[in-house]
Amino acid sequence: MMVKIRKMRPLKKAIQELESTGVLPLNVQDEVLAADISVNEQILKQVFENCSDIVFRPICANRQTKMLLIYIDGLVDTKIVEQVVLKPMMFEGMPDGLKQADSIGEIIQDQLVAITQVKAVSKVREVSDAVLKSNLAVLTDGENQALLADIKGFEKRSIEEPSAELSVRGPRDGFTETLRVNTSLVRRRIRSPRLKMEPYSIGDLSQTDIAISYIEGIASNTVLEEVRQRVRRIQIDGILESAFIEEFIEDLPYSPFPQIQNTERPDVVCASLLEGKVAIFVDNTPFVLIVPMTFWTGVQAAEDYYERSIFTSFIRFVRFTLINISLFLPSLYVAVTTYHPQLIPTNLLISIAAAREGIPFPTVVEALMMEFLFEGLREAGVRLPKAVGSAVSIVGALVIGQASVQAGIISAPMVIIVATTGISSFSFPRYNLGTAYRVLRFPMLLLSGILGLYGVAFGALAMLIHLTNIRSFGVPYLSPVAPQIPRNLKDVLMRAHRWKMTNRPVMISGEEKMRIPKGQQPGPKQGDQTE
């Protein structure tokens, strides 16, 4: 077997400068690899200086060809390195019957390395970037190319049920912190070549892998191109979580309402893709971003689509009622008791007045104190360990509430109002939309304490105007209610039967608007009736 060796030394000048000054040139990573393996090793060791987790493993293949393996300890499967690379090269030697090859690298790439993804690169930067992305780099003496083998082997979390989006009925698997595991969970559900996964890398230092996923023909080209442009223009040193991406691509960063949906559930992502939305997968986080987002998406749970439509419609009515209670109940109580007591029935008014006798604070101050205390208990319950978090929040609420009433600082009706508001706030299926309502509750209280019911009406009108002006990647936030699209109203306040929802959302989807053919209403066939 004849192997042609090309002798090239593009890094010779960099080596000479390194030996004379002790400093590596800044542009050395843009240079082409040298044919001398010792030159490449010296340069790469200087690039990875003081990186104790970078392993340089020299070997001798077939007792005559020098090779160098470079990888990160802990991010590469060392068993595969030993069985597939080291053992064949060092002990078994070149197998008989190999075809004519131009280089040792070609032999390794095509005939020896039994790894699914192997490619050749020729620049120092390509080698260093690949090693940092958990690849194995193989350099051969006499070759000005390096082989990169994808043999990732880092520790990863197993697939578990999402803790923030629980459901009684539905899939139990959730996303993990590994990008390819997450994309595979979606690919298992949508087995079509039209499901696309466009790769990107963001972050000058982190080089975080992300994937933009959509279904070709169903996703809107306008929305898709807008997502691409917003992702490409991100310039940052590192991406640690999908929230970093979210803050860079949302339409109105100062709005309390979220314009990008995040989820840990693969079924939610698949359902969104089938509607024409675009999903953004980010490595090292289990949360996937979905755009565009509407207000109605934030108040719909995944379980709504796994139960019968009659039950789901009833649950949605209860949920919408609780959502409104969580925002307006404290402010309405303050406005009515302070400025409009004539609206309260006489017996109830007497009861409230008797409970408030001796209370030193106005009603609005009372409400703000209790709301702030409730938010503090909720935050404490989240930050404390799970074993004591819920117990502390419950005991704290009971003890402080009861002690405040007995001490005459807070009235009993206010404790009831705040407790009802807190319970109602837990009905939000999406945590980020619930957070927006929690924030808005305080300005609504201030408006009601200053202007009474006029303040409540003013706050509600201002919020409604703001909601109608929000756009998420060009899609109105309140669509299909404002602007009204009658054929898409079947899945807003109530959920129609699945066989009635024949069309995808008009404002979101692309060319294929039809989802289900008409005429699939179930019923007994003629002639099936028994006599």
Q: Is pLDDT larger for residue 526 or for residue 198?
A: 198
Residue 236: pLDDT over 90: yes
Inter-helix orientation angle 412-425/431-451, to 10°:
150
d(CA 294, CA 292): 7
| Tally of helices (H runs) and strands (E runs) in the chain | 18, 12
The two structure tokens encoding residue 145: 């190319």
pLDDT at 96: 52
Mark whether 31 and 141 lie in a shared domain: yes
140 and 41 Cβ atoms separated by less than 8 Å: no
Q: Which of 264, 293, 322 is the last residue of a domain?
A: 293
d(CA 477, CA 462): 15
User: CB-side exposure of 306: number of CA atoms within 13 Å?
Assistant: 13
Assigned domain for 143 exists: yes
Long-range pairs for 373-380: beta carbons < 8 A, 24 or more residues apart: 373/400, 374/418, 374/421, 374/422, 375/438, 378/422
Mark whether 73 and 206 lie in a shared domain: no
Assigned domain for 209 exists: yes
Assigned domain for 496 exists: no
Mark whether 331 and 471 lie in a shared domain: yes
Query: How many structural domains is the chain composed of?
Result: 3
56-65, 164-173, 282-291: segment of lowest average pLDDT: 56-65
63-67, 88-92, 103-107: segment of lowest average pLDDT: 103-107
Q: How far is CA 286 from the centre of its chain?
A: 6
85 and 138 Cβ atoms separated by less than 8 Å: yes
Assigned domain for 442 exists: yes
Q: Which of 427, 459, 476 is the last residue of a domain?
A: 476
- pLDDT tens figures, 430-447: 989 999 999 999 999 999
d(CA 266, CA 194): 18
pLDDT band (50, 70, 90) for residue 3: very low
Inter-helix orientation angle 453-469/309-339, to 10°:
140
d(CA 172, CA 25): 53
d(CA 241, CA 382): 20
Task: Give which of 495, 497, 501 is closest to 523, Cα–Cα.
Answer: 497
Length of the chain: 531
Mark whether 380 and 448 lie in a shared domain: yes
Mark whether 196 and 334 lie in a shared domain: no
d(CA 406, CA 201): 60
Mark whether 21 and 125 lie in a shared domain: yes
Mark whether 318 and 284 lie in a shared domain: no
Mean pLDDT value across residues 51-67: 82
Specify burial of residue 421 (Cβ count, 10 A radius: 0-12, 13-18, 19+): buried
Residue 199: pLDDT over 90: yes
Mean pLDDT value across residues 227-250: 95
d(CA 353, CA 414): 12
> Could you list the residue range(s) of the whole structural domain that residue 112 is in?
12-149
Assigned domain for 5 exists: no
pLDDT at 7: 42
Mark whether 80 and 187 lie in a shared domain: no
Assigned domain for 165 exists: no
Assigned domain for 115 exists: yes
Mark whether 393 and 361 lie in a shared domain: yes
CA-based R_g, the chain, Å: 31
Residue 197: pLDDT over 90: yes
Mark whether 60 and 132 lie in a shared domain: yes
Task: Give which of 248, 251, 249, 223 is closest to 470, Cα–Cα.
Answer: 251
Mark whether 289 and 311 lie in a shared domain: no
Mean pLDDT value across residues 78-90: 74
Mark whether 212 and 134 lie in a shared domain: no
Assigned domain for 279 exists: yes
% of the chain at pLDDT higher than 70: 85
pTM, entire model: 0.86
Q: How far is CA 192 from CA 96, 188, 265, 323, in A?
A: 42, 10, 20, 38
